[in-house]
Amino acid sequence: MTQIFAHRGYSASFAENTMGSFVGAGKAGADGLELDVQLTKDGELVVIHDEKVDRTTSGTGFVKDFLYKELRKLNANKKGLKKEPIPALAEVFEWLKTNKLMCNIELKNGLIPYEGMEDKVIQLVQKHGLMDRIIISSFNHYSIVYCYRIAPEIETAPLFIEGIYMPWIYSQSIKAKGIHPKHSAVSDKIIKNTMENGIAVRPYTVNKDEDMLRLFNINCTALITDDPVKALRLRKQFEKRP
Ligand code: G3P
Ligand code: CA
């Protein structure tokens, strides 16, 4: 059965990458979460998609220029009624210990090469004993190879925006157990071949009914969606089909 990962949490209904969005995804019954991490000036891992705080919070400027305690004063739920801070990754991990959700951490170190980010993430995962519930992904493939080298027990998955030739060969060569391609960049055949070669496939960001159904139909490992409620409803209908 295709697992459902909530992209930036249940971001179709809650402010993205907030605790409200993650708790909402958990309550909805998602199998996992996807979230993005950046690093503050004083080296705290924080959960926010963009390098700058402008789009999603009440503040302006680069995450890397904020001290953690200053960043925490910003509101990451600008459109909502209740103020929400940008979560620390540690805070998400504390909450993950209260449930069984999988968690895909995307290292956002493609534009800003945050020094030491991988080591910090790995240490935190190990400290919380979450090694078998975490998947580390990134568009920065050097970074996920480094993660594998320092913690081979934690699953890694390169992100792709374009189709690549025989992705299972590439994944095996970098010891990644999965790939996270843009959903429109992978055909059914490529997904099936990749899975038959022992590599998990979790396409992103799958929000349309027809795209979800296509992946359920080939029993794709997982899909990453903004709307886990819709995906769960469709999956239930799909599983009940005669
Ligand atoms: O992890 C898949 C997806 O989140 C990658 O793109 O820009 O939404 O982080 P983006
Ligand atoms: Ca992401």
Confirm if 173 and 197 have CB atoms less than 8 A apart.
no
The reply to whether ligand 1 has any atom less than 6 angstroms from the CB of 84 is no
Q: What is the pLDDT of residues 133-169, one digit of tens each?
A: 999 999 999 999 999 999 999 999 999 999 999 999 9
Residue 80 is predicted with a pLDDT of: 85
Ligand 1 pocket mutation, candidates 49, 205, 224, 225, criterion most atoms within 8 A of CB: 205
Domain of residue 84 covers 3-240
Confidence of residue 79 (pLDDT cuts 50, 70, 90): confident
Ligand 1 atom with the shortest distance to the CA of 49:
9
Domain count, the chain: 1
Residues identified as active-site = 7, 49
Separation of CA 241 and ligand 2 centre (Å): 32
Q: Which ligand is nearest to the CA of 180?
A: 1
For residue 64, give the CATH number of its domain: 3.20.20.190
Predicted confidence (pLDDT) per residue in 113-131, tens digit: 999 999 999 999 999 999 9
Closest CA to 23 of 4, 36, 6, 47: 6
Predicted pLDDT at 81: 84
Per-residue confidence (pLDDT) for residue 206, from 0 to 100: 98
Residue located nearest, by CA, to atom 3 of ligand 1: 204
